[in-house]
Amino acid sequence: MTRADAKVLLEVKGLHANVAGVEILKGIDLVVRAGEVHAIMGPNGSGKSTFAKALAGHPAYEVTAGTATFEGRNIFDMAAEERARAGLFLGFQYPLEIPGVSNAAFLRLAYNTVQGARGKDELDPLEFDDYVREKMKLLEMDASFLDRSVNDGFSGGEKKRNEILQMALLEPRLAILDETDSGLDIDALRVVSGGVNRLLTRDNAVVLVTHYQRLLNYIVPDYVHVMEGGRIIKTGGRELAVELEARGYDWLKGKVAA
Amino acid sequence: MSTVVGATHPYIASLLNGCESGHDQLSWLGERRAAALERANALAVPTTRDEEWRFTDITPLTRVPFQPAVAVPHPGADDVAKFIIPEAGVRLTFVDGMFAPELSANAGLPYGVVVTSLAAGLATHGSVIERHLARHARFEQDVFAALNTARLRDGALVWVAKNQQCPTPVQLLFLSTQKAVAAYPRCLVVAEAGAELTLVEEYASLVDNAYFTDAVTEVAIGDGAQVRHVRLQREARDAFHIATCAVALAKDANYASHAITLGARISRHDLSVRQGGEGAEARLDGLTLIGGRQLADTHTLLDHGRPNGRSRQLHKCIVGGAAHAVFSGKIAVAPGAQLTDSAQESRNLLLSNKAHVDTKPQLEIFADDVKCAHGATVGQLEAEHLFYLQSRGLSEQRARNLLTYAFGAEVIDGIPVPSLVEQLEETVLAETQSAE
Ligand SMILES: Nc1ncnc2c1ncn2[C@@H]1O[C@H](COP(=O)(O)OP(=O)(O)OP(=O)(O)O)[C@@H](O)[C@H]1O
Ligand SMILES: [Mg+2]
């Protein structure tokens, strides 16, 4: 839901970023207000994940120009963990496996770290166990995933569910979900989308990076952006996603968003 | 029984100061000690010119003429409390090489399980001891095993009779308390056919001192018997620790080793497992976690002497600071040891640019129908993993610790004693913090 008077959560202006000395992001502008759902679409290699990771603070992405503020703070002055604690969440396109660390311990550590930083109460293992099981129920996740190592041997879809579980626990102000729908079966897509919708309020926002219009039937976007060659070349409403699904990206090539 | 000509090597001579043979009541024991003394006298302190010591320079050891303890220390039960493993129903404690019955415990062992000092065991189980003592740990070419055997006065005896199970883990605890003292711990572990045993052998100190532990452990596992052996080396950071463990496996015997190396300035662990019967199985897990200026060297030998043997080995090193870890793993397959199935993995994590690891697999295969896989990796923590954890709010330091811990967890989680797993998990998390 867009409201002109809603608080600006994220404001990106003229963002340029390099990876390994190569410029990938070539001037991105984006404003996300509280209560909004944005979708970013675009061909493979257009820079969507790079944009998401640069915002989340990945050290390999070197910001060479432009600004980005999160609730008024310059995020490039903040370490990745500070951004997370401030309420920025990245759902990974490829969540990492960490054999040897139990998912339960990891989730609790993340939860308590973020809670502590926000001046809220931490939970001991027993309290946390109750809490996380509640959240897992909403995502129709089996409790056995708590005992396994983080993402270790999880199927593609299970990893994505685990990402949304983390989002549910960390209660971010702004969640950037990078292809959370890829790898989900039809039922899982419904469940995970339902989970995301339930987390959306007037005070937070989500940016969905996706290749498929289908996701946007479940989580309805206010804006759809098309990224190409490290720029947002077009922005429209949800109907743009439908059009892209029908026509592909070719007709947009060479255009730059007005 | 001749008394001895002096040692050819001055440092060995200093270590042997006051050591004589010829006073044993038992002639076989006297002969073995005399033979060891003779070898100790003949051998030199190894240098980096010796192939087996190529990466490990022990000159710092040779600057101190360590002597056996004279004063018998009496640490209180409180000092020892933190080393006690609650699961272990029986514990033998040795302080500076000497048996400390007052710090030992025996919650009542079933018939057929004996855990006692070697000295006491000689009276009741002489023939078992005679059959095995100094028969597995070869000292002909190993000056430290020879020294230990020549210095042999007491030690630990663990014996499990045929088809008996030891119901709880047995803990053998070797504590050091005094500066400049040399201790020569000795363990003899015998599991007769069909027996089962879980053993925890631990080396630790009550004070941060420079001392020297020269340990020898022999483990004989009979037909179809099973021994799980946890070895925990957490000596003082200034200590020297050189240990030999020789394991002999009979037909269908099963041995699992979990060797954890945390302490000592310079440490060396030689573990040899000889499959002397068909179908024997060995699992060797090792974890070395060191930092500062520590040096930890692990040499293992898996000797497949008979057909149908199986071995699995995973050795991991986590090296911080300017520390240096060495792993040399030899796998030998004798002619005729067909259908041997052996796999070895050496995985290493360097936490700093000055940390260093030498890893060296050695395969000596003389049979043609065998499977022998081996691999080694050396790496650092991955940026992607760190970023993943940081993106969930964890500080970089916390993320590093957690990933380091995760790297070691694979070995620690395999330890069959839950309280030890918990304790080690905490240690690894804390140690990695201090290793940075
Ligand atoms: N660490 C890196 N090293 C080298 N090149 C990189 C790195 N990360 C990204 N790139 C390059 O940057 C470009 C943009 O990649 P990015 O992952 O952002 O694309 P994407 O839009 O997310 O694509 P997809 O839809 O396939 O996920 C690609 O050409 C990619 O190869
Ligand atoms: Mg991508």
pLDDT digits (tens, 9 = 90+) for A135-177: 999 999 999 999 999 999 999 999 999 999 999 999 999 999 9
Instruction: Check A84 against B387: CB less than 8 A apart.
Output: no
Domain-located, residue A210 = yes
Instruction: Check A99 against B406: CB less than 8 A apart.
Output: yes
Contact, B152 vs B186, CB < 8 A?
A: yes
Domain-located, residue B296 = no
Tell me what pLDDT residue B436 has. 44
A242 to chain B nearest CA, in Å? Answer: 32
Domain-located, residue B305 = no
Tell me what pLDDT residue B376 has. 95
For the domain that residue A68 is a member of, what is the CATH number? 3.40.50.300
Domain-located, residue A230 = yes
- Alpha-carbon distance of B299 to B296, in angstroms, equals 10
Domain-located, residue A167 = yes
- Alpha-carbon distance of B39 to B55, in angstroms, equals 24
Give the Å distance between the CA of A219 and the centre of ligand 2.
19
Rounded to 5 degrees, φ, ψ at B55 are -95, -5
- C-alpha distance from residue B329 to each of A68, B255, B320, B408 (Å): 53, 17, 22, 19
* Tokens read off for B110: 């079933």
Using the 3D structure, point to which of B277, B307, B325 is the last residue of a domain. Answer: B277
What total number of domains does chain B contain? 2
**Going by CA atoms, what residue is nearest to atom 28 of ligand 1?**
A45
Name the residue range of residue A161's domain: 8-98+154-252
Domain-located, residue A119 = no
- Alpha-carbon distance of B436 to B433, in angstroms, equals 6
The pLDDT tens digits of the residues spanning B48-84 come to 999 999 999 999 999 999 999 988 788 888 999 999 9
* Angle at the Cα of A246 from the Cα atoms of A241 and A250, rounded to 5 degrees: 90
Tell me what pLDDT residue A254 has. 63
Tell me the best of A15, A22, A49, A227 to mutate to test the pocket of ligand 1, counting ligand atoms within 8 Å of each CB and taking the most: A49
Residue in chain B closest to A169 (alpha carbons) equals B392
Domain-located, residue A247 = yes
* Tokens read off for B100: 């400390």
- Please tell me the pTM assigned to this model: 0.88
Burial B97-122 (b: 16+ CB within 10 A, else e): bbbbeebbeeeebeeebbbbbbeebb
Instruction: Check B392 against A85: CB less than 8 A apart.
Output: no
Domain-located, residue B353 = no
Using the 3D structure, point to which of B215, B242, B277 is the last residue of a domain. Answer: B277
Helix (H, G, I), strand (E, B) or coil at A76: helix
Mean pLDDT, residues A231-257:
85
Tell me what pLDDT residue B2 has. 44
CB contact, 8 Å: A148 with chain B? Answer: no
**Above pLDDT 70, what percent of chain B?**
97
A68 CB-near residues (< 8 Å, 6+ apart): A10, A11, A12, A13, A15, A55, A74, A75, A76
Domain-located, residue B212 = yes
Write out residues in chain B with pLDDT < 70, as ranges. 1-5, 21-23, 431-436
Tell me what pLDDT residue B1 has. 41
Q: How far apart are the first and last CA of chain B?
A: 54
**Above pLDDT 70, what percent of chain A?**
98
Task: Provide the pairing of β-strand B226-234 with B186-191.
Answer: unpaired
Domain-located, residue A3 = no
CB contact, 8 Å: A1 with chain B? Answer: no
Instruction: Check A81 against B410: CB less than 8 A apart.
Output: no
A59: chain B residues, CB-CB within 8 Å: 383, 387
Domain-located, residue B144 = yes
The pLDDT tens digits of the residues spanning A92-126 come to 999 999 998 999 999 999 999 999 999 999 999 99
The amino acid occupying position A164 is I
- Alpha-carbon distance of A113 to A61, in angstroms, equals 25
Contact, B405 vs B432, CB < 8 A?
A: yes
Give the Å distance between the CA of A95 and the centre of ligand 1.
15
Contact, B177 vs B236, CB < 8 A?
A: no
Query: Does ipTM come in above 0.90?
Result: yes
Contact, A63 vs B368, CB < 8 A?
A: no
A58: chain B residues, CB-CB within 8 Å: 387
Task: Provide the pairing of β-strand A223-228 with A205-209.
Answer: unpaired
* Angle at the Cα of B408 from the Cα atoms of B51 and B264, rounded to 5 degrees: 50
**Going by CA atoms, what residue is nearest to atom 25 of ligand 1?**
A44
Nearest to B410 among A100, A113, A114 (CB): A100
Helix (H, G, I), strand (E, B) or coil at A221: coil
Domain-located, residue B244 = yes
Q: Is the pLDDT of residue A256 over 60?
A: no
- Alpha-carbon distance of B353 to B356, in angstroms, equals 8
Measuring CA to CA, which residue among B7, B10, B8, B36 is closest to residue B21?
A: B36
Q: Are B247 and B395 contained in the same domain?
A: no
Q: Which residues line ligand 1 (CB under 6 A)?
A: A 19-20, 24, 42, 44-50, 60, 93
Instruction: Check A57 against B391: CB less than 8 A apart.
Output: yes
CB contact, 8 Å: A223 with chain B? Answer: no
The dihedral sign for the CA sequence B184, B105, B285, B385: negative
The pLDDT tens digits of the residues spanning A205-233 come to 999 999 999 999 999 999 999 999 999 99
* Tokens read off for A164: 């949304």
Burial class (CB within 10 angstroms; exposed 0-12, middle 13-18, buried 19+) of B267 = buried
Nearest to B391 among A56, A99, A100 (CB): A56
B325 CB-near residues (< 8 Å, 6+ apart): B288, B290, B295, B296, B297, B298, B317, B319, B348, B356, B357, B358
Contact, B278 vs B249, CB < 8 A?
A: no
Domain-located, residue A107 = no
What total number of domains does chain A contain? 1
Give the Å distance between the CA of A104 and the centre of ligand 1.
31
Contact, B376 vs B367, CB < 8 A?
A: no
3-state DSSP helix/strand/coil percent for chain A, to nearest 5?
40, 30, 35
- Alpha-carbon distance of B342 to B273, in angstroms, equals 13
Domain-located, residue B172 = yes
Instruction: Check A81 against B395: CB less than 8 A apart.
Output: yes
Using the 3D structure, point to which of B256, B277, B298 is the last residue of a domain. Answer: B277
Domain-located, residue B253 = yes
Quickly count: other Cβ atoms within 10 Å of residue A247's Cβ: 10
The amino acid occupying position B333 is V
Name the residue range of residue B115's domain: 10-277
A176 CB-near residues (< 8 Å, 6+ apart): A52, A55, A56, A88, A89, A90, A91, A206, A207, A209
Domain-located, residue A243 = yes
pLDDT confidence of A258, banded at 50, 70, 90?
Answer: very low
What DSSP string runs through A127-174?
A: HHHHHHHHHHHHTT--GGGGTSEETTT--HHHHHHHHHHHHHHH--SE
A101: chain B residues, CB-CB within 8 Å: 402-403, 405-406, 409
- Alpha-carbon distance of A62 to A6, in angstroms, equals 31
